[in-house]
Structure 1
Amino acid sequence: MVHPTILVTGATGKIGGAVASLLLQLGWPVRALVHRQDARSEDLRSRGADVAVADLFDPQQLQEAMRGTSRAFYCPPWHPYMIQSAAAFAVAARLAGLEAVVGLSQWLAAPDHPSLATRQNWLVDHLFAMLPGAAHVIVNPGFFADNYLRLVPFAAQLGLFPMPTGTSRNAPPSNEDIARVTAAALMRPDRHNGRSYRPTGPELLSAADMADILQRVLQRRVRHMEIPLWMFIKAARALGLSIYELTNVRRYIEEHRKGAFEIGAPTDHVLEVTGRAPESFETIARHYAARPEAGRTLAHKWRAIGDFARIGFTTVQDLDRYERDQQYPLLDQAHLAVDSREWRMEHAPANSLAMPSPKGAVRA
């Protein structure tokens, strides 16, 4: 059987890369959209991908990269003008006559959210749903397991798991489970058209629960260290997050604290769509613990100490002022998802409230 070619954006990233790899393993032709040629794109080419170098914000380059493909995965870039790339993608998709688009969105997506990225994700969901003749599937995970496990070096070297989430819980999905759901939708868009899937892990966990799991995985004492939001922002900046990313991530921590990721979780969507159970947090953590930076060496310990100390010397500008200075569109009346009627109308689970969906979509 000859499979249609699937375009995968963000093909050298964590989610896009996992989607591309899985499709290639299953024998599907993949056109991997990358921003530049490097070792990661060469690896994809060596495994059979047709690598296309294109700017996700350039409509003409996108149209050329999409030529000859039938389905596509849109992985939104972390960028304040992401909506422009999505509009260019939608134009290219229509001109190419794509039969299916799968978009990576967010569990929090809402039109009145204070996060610019989250509002734009909501707009993109509705934009892609309006593509004529194309099947459309939304994959809207919450806070990824990867977000927590970036702290494995601190846990491994210092026995600390610093998180500002209090006693709130989440059932975080692995990058691989998100990719498996995405790949399944791309391979059988007729089966999944109009659906919105929220991949989660199998159980709700607090930060303290995660610290206990890391203690078992790393075979050393690990304790959850509750830190204030301002310290988390400084730490995230010290570890490389951009100011734009911080303007959004601070909102997600506020949502986390208020229990947004507990609502409707865990789901059975990974099992339903892929036929296999989702990975547990412990299984995911063991992958991260096996990485070289988690090895308990003197050099790694000193690096962790240095990274932790650098937090105190890291300055972060006023994020509200930054958004105003950048002239980001700001709402007079913005609401976190847990406080938003619009969000509950579209995202709360069907067994708690009856929810209408975007035109042409059926919320799973």
Structure 2
Amino acid sequence: MILVTGATGTIGSELLRQLVARGIPAVGMTRGELPGFVQADFEHPDSLRKAIDGVGTVFLLSAPGPRVPEHDQAMVAVTVGSSVGKIVKLSAIGTTDEKMPGNWHAAGESAVRESGLAWTILRPAGFASNVLRWLPAIRAGQPIPNQTGEGEHAFVDPRDVAAVAAAALVSGDHDGQTYTLTGPELLSVPDQVAVMSDILGQALQVVDVPLDVYAEQLRAAGLDEGFVSVAVRGAALVRDGGERTMTKDVEQVLGRPAGTFRAWVESNRAAFA
């Protein structure tokens, strides 16, 4: 049995869908009570112990934020002496790179590697699906906010991330590996908007958002200062051309090219209606 944490999010939900479609026994873990899911909370070790009872493999996905190290370490700690034999951890691109802000995943990666279990670590780039956050602006006929200027990034299709995770969960071929998962092309926000304009048949516009304005917007949304700092420094890094990593790891694992941003938008055209 595979336990999928973060099971209602972008990657967790897609991973569960793919595993179930392949007939692979899997169950999702959520903090809230949902039918068909295991209820557990990273803040409560006893609930984690119950969640992993009878589980052989864990997909470890902690929600982004300053608590990631504690949550990752909590899950690793309860696996000691349990039925769990493998952990596949979802990390983030650039983890352990000194220029990257936050590095919330570094401690969790270390805990997984030192757990004594089989492990695989996945470091995805920003998701192609993150453009869904632009929906309110698109529907209101407003320009799309751009915090990263002309900075480019190799956005990855979340379906590819889930497919690589599934491969690592069900096969020992990827044990002990750390994969950096990216798309096959470098795109700026204006590039993404141009693709979307073409596919959606709309003349979408872009407006530059200075980083100080971005910080105030995040604070107004109720985010704590630690999250604001990491988000703003991350945007600055991309804006300055500091995150242009592109790999072939998706293709290496899946035996096919990584999906393009255009393909993702075409597949999800209905979401923008």
Q: Do both proteins adopt the same fold according to a TM-score greater than 0.5, normalized to the shorter chain?
A: yes
Query: Which amino acid is 1:282 matched to?
Result: R
CA offsets per residue over residues 25-81 of structure 1, 9 Å max, x none?
A: 1111112111112xxx33xx3xxxxx2111122111111110101111100123433
Please give the alpha-carbon distance, in whole angstroms, between the structure 1 residues aligned to 2:133 and 2:266: 13
Given the superposition, is the C-alpha separation of residues 262 and 113 from structure 1 closer, same or farther in structure 2, using an over 3 Å criterion?
closer
Report if the CA contact (8 A) 2:11-2:162 is conserved: yes
Task: Report deviation, 1:235.
Answer: 4.1
Instruction: Name the counterpart of 1:15.
Output: 11
Matched, 1:242 2:223: yes
Given the superposition, is the C-alpha separation of residues 218 and 111 from structure 1 closer, same or farther in structure 2, using an over 3 Å criterion?
closer
Instruction: Name the counterpart of 1:347.
Output: none
The partner residue of 1:278 within 252, 258, 261 is 258
Query: Which amino acid is 1:108 matched to?
Result: G
The partner residue of 1:28 within 17, 24, 27 is 24
The partner residue of 2:54 within 53, 59, 68 is 68
Correspondence list, 1:184-199, <5 A: 184-188=167-171, 190-199=172-181
Comparing 63-72 with 202-211, which one deviates more in the overlay? Answer: 202-211
Please give the alpha-carbon distance, in whole angstroms, between the structure 2 residues aligned to 1:269 and 1:78: 23
Instruction: Name the counterpart of 1:86.
Output: 72
Given the superposition, is the C-alpha separation of residues 260 and 184 from structure 1 closer, same or farther in structure 2, using an over 3 Å criterion?
farther
Query: Which amino acid is 1:184 matched to?
Result: A
Report if the CA contact (8 A) 2:100-2:234 is conserved: no
Task: Report deviation, 1:152.
Answer: 3.7
CA offsets per residue over residues 109-147 of structure 1, 9 Å max, x none?
A: 12756744x2x3011111100111x21111101222233
Please give the alpha-carbon distance, in whole angstroms, between the structure 2 residues aligned to 1:288 and 1:153: 16
User: For the aligned residues, what is the CA RMSD?
Assistant: 2.1
The partner residue of 2:112 within 109, 119, 128 is 128
Please give the alpha-carbon distance, in whole angstroms, between the structure 1 residues aligned to 2:202 and 2:8: 34
Q: Secondary structure at the match of 1:252?
A: helix
Please give the alpha-carbon distance, in whole angstroms, between the structure 1 residues aligned to 2:222 and 2:91: 20
Instruction: Name the counterpart of 2:243.
Output: 261
Q: Secondary structure at the match of 2:124?
A: coil
Bigger Rg over Cα: 1
For normalisation by structure 1, the TM-score amounts to 0.69
Please give the alpha-carbon distance, in whole angstroms, between the structure 1 residues aligned to 2:15 and 2:258: 16
Q: Give the gaps of 5 or more residues in structure 1.
A: 46-50, 296-364
Q: Secondary structure at the match of 1:170?
A: coil
Given the superposition, is the C-alpha separation of residues 84 and 175 from structure 1 closer, same or farther in structure 2, using an over 3 Å criterion?
same
Correspondence list, 1:136-151, <5 A: 136-151=119-134
Query: Which amino acid is 1:210 matched to?
Result: Q
CA offsets per residue over residues 316-355 of structure 1, 9 Å max, x none?
A: xxxxxxxxxxxxxxxxxxxxxxxxxxxxxxxxxxxxxxxx
Please give the alpha-carbon distance, in whole angstroms, between the structure 1 residues aligned to 2:123 and 2:223: 23
The partner residue of 1:220 within 202, 227, 230 is 202
Query: Which amino acid is 1:165 matched to?
Result: T
Percent identity, please: 26
Please give the alpha-carbon distance, in whole angstroms, between the structure 1 residues aligned to 2:129 and 2:215: 17
Report if the CA contact (8 A) 2:148-2:235 is conserved: yes
Instruction: Name the counterpart of 2:146.
Output: 163
Query: Which amino acid is 1:90 matched to?
Result: V
Given the superposition, is the C-alpha separation of residues 99 and 11 from structure 1 closer, same or farther in structure 2, using an over 3 Å criterion?
same
Report if the CA contact (8 A) 1:155-1:214 is conserved: no
Q: Secondary structure at the match of 1:290?
A: helix
For normalisation by structure 2, the TM-score amounts to 0.91
Please give the alpha-carbon distance, in whole angstroms, between the structure 2 residues aligned to 1:186 and 1:17: 15
Task: Report deviation, 1:7.
Answer: 0.9
Report if the CA contact (8 A) 2:94-2:100 is conserved: no
Comparing 168-177 with 254-263, which one deviates more in the overlay? Answer: 254-263
Matched, 1:104 2:90: yes
Please give the alpha-carbon distance, in whole angstroms, between the structure 2 residues aligned to 1:241 and 1:211: 27
Given the superposition, is the C-alpha separation of residues 181 and 113 from structure 1 closer, same or farther in structure 2, using an over 3 Å criterion?
same
The partner residue of 1:290 within 246, 270, 273 is 270
Query: Which amino acid is 2:194 matched to?
Result: D
Q: Give the gaps of 5 or more residues in structure 2.
A: none
Report if the CA contact (8 A) 1:152-1:288 is conserved: no
Report if the CA contact (8 A) 2:154-2:187 is conserved: yes
